[in-house]
């Protein structure tokens, strides 16, 4: 709705008629005081305000309007037949007017201005609606994210206790059956232990995500020999996977970090290298010097590789490359956890990959524990 403010009824009548003929809803006020009462009570997308009025003039009305949070953004077109000098026009803009029209005015030109303000008003409403929708969507997603994190935390803790019991019972069963020396039973026990190990790794990953998201993950920073830790990680993988892992180094160092967590990252890189290389058993691990006072570890495979457009997302939580998601099991959390561990050690993770030729995952780590 448009508010016309003028103390001369003839001016109001003629302007009101023009606007109503063009399908605009119009309200009127014959004084500044009446205008202020209506502005506080009703909603207007435009105010056409006469400058020269008894009592409160148009400038005073505009100044008062600008002081109310509800009305300060309503556009104002000043109309004046007397105050047409440049100083008055300037004053009109200073008092918040978006346009200043002198009388007599061209009705067609004024109508075009009104239509422009109406179009801007509609766009503003649409933008506000979009912003509110986005805010609501963000809040909904935050509710969903919080519930998901809460579920992950509860589920992982609840799964850990029965899983530990199952593992213990299987070990007891294995010991009880050793005297029978039955290769079939032994094979079943081995397969069961393998699945328990996978489930335990998954539960541990979920617990780590819960700790990371809640800011409760802790690190035990101690000095250790980096290459010895890498060798232990390689031996762990070779005991449980059918693969050939070569190891080379051009440097070694005593690193100040959480040895167990850094080994967890390397085991994750190695597990992925084997997992996503179904047609190749070869994996290469190397240690080199990075920039000053850093050490660089690289795990190279000859597997399926990752498309370039997807490489930027592989360290994101729950992200899985589409081409591999249906062929290989996983939740897409191992690399996210690895990246978080390295980042919190003031290092960084990265990769180089080419589809069909393999991938190189690497991380750089400060030797002295900080940079």
Task: Please give the domain boundaries of the chain with CATH numbers for all domains.
Answer: 2-105 (3.40.50.2300), 132-214 (1.10.287.130), 222-366 (3.30.565.10)
CA distance 215 to 235: 32
d(CA 17, CA 108): 13
* Higher pLDDT among residues 325 and 332, named by residue: 332
| 267 has pLDDT over 60 | yes
Cβ contact 120:99 at 8 Å: no
Structure tokens belonging to residue 154: 């509860």
CB 206 within 8 A of CB 152: yes
Which range, 56-60, 272-276, 337-341, 360-364, has the best average confidence (pLDDT)? 360-364
Instruction: Please give the structure tokens belonging to residue 228.
Output: 């010895």
Instruction: Provide the pLDDT confidence category of residue 358 given band limits of 50, 70 and 90.
Output: very high
* Residue % of the chain over a pLDDT of 90: 26
For residue 259, how many other CB atoms are within 10 A of its CB? 20
Query: How much is the pLDDT for 184?
Result: 81
Average pLDDT over residues 327-341: 78
pLDDT bucket at 371, cuts 50 / 70 / 90: very low
Q: Could you check whether the bond before residue 104 is cis, i.e. omega within 30 degrees of 0?
A: yes
Cβ–Cβ < 8 Å for 2, 44: yes
Q: Check whether 229 has a pLDDT greater than 80.
A: yes
Q: What is the mean pLDDT of the chain?
A: 83
Instruction: State the pLDDT confidence band at 82, using cuts at 50, 70 and 90.
Output: low
* Least confident residue range of 137-151, 181-195, 292-306: 137-151
The pLDDT of residue 85 is: 66
175 versus 369: the higher-pLDDT residue is 175
């Amino acid at each position: 709705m448009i508010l016309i403010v003028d103390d001369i009824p003839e001016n109001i009548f003629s302007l009101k008629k023009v606007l109503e003929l063009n399908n605009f809803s119009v309200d009127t006020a014959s004084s500044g005081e009446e205008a202020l009462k209506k502005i506080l009570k009703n909603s207007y997308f435009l105010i056409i305000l006469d400058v020269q009025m008894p009592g409160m003039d148009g400038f005073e009305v505009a100044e008062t309007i600008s002081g109310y949070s509800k009305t300060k953004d309503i556009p104002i077109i000043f109309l004046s037949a007397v105050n047409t000098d440049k100083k008055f026009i300037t004053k009109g803009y200073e008092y918040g007017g978006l346009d200043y029209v002198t009388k007599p005015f061209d009705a067609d030109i004024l109508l075009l201005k009104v239509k422009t303000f109406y179009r801007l008003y509609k766009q503003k409403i649409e933008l506000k609606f979009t912003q509110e929708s986005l805010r609501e969507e963000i809040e909904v997603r935050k509710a969903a994210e919080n519930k998901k994190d809460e579920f992950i935390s509860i589920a992982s803790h609840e799964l850990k206790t029965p899983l530990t019991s199952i593992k213990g019972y299987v070990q007891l069963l294995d010991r009880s059956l050793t005297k029978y020396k039955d290769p079939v039973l032994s094979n079943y026990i081995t397969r069961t232990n393998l699945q328990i190990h996978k489930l335990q790794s998954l539960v541990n990953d979920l617990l780590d995500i819960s700790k990371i998201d809640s800011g409760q993950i802790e690190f035990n920073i101690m000095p250790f020999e980096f290459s010895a830790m890498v060798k232990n990680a390689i031996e762990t993988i070779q005991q449980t996977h059918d693969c050939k892992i070569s190891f080379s180094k051009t440097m070694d160092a005593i690193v100040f970090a959480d040895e167990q967590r850094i080994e967890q990252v390397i085991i994750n890189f190695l597990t992925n290298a084997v997992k996503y290389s179904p047609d190749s058993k070869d994996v290469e691990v190397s240690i080199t010097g990075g920039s000053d006072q850093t050490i660089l570890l690289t795990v190279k495979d000859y597997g399926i590789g990752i498309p370039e457009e997807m490489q930027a997302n592989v360290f994101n939580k729950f992200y899985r490359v589409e081409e591999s998601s249906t062929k290989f099991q996983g939740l897409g959390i191992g690399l996210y956890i690895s990246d978080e561990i390295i980042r919190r050690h003031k290092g960084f993770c990265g990769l180089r990959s080419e589809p069909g030729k393999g991938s190189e995952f690497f991380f750089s780590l400060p030797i002295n524990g900080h940079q």
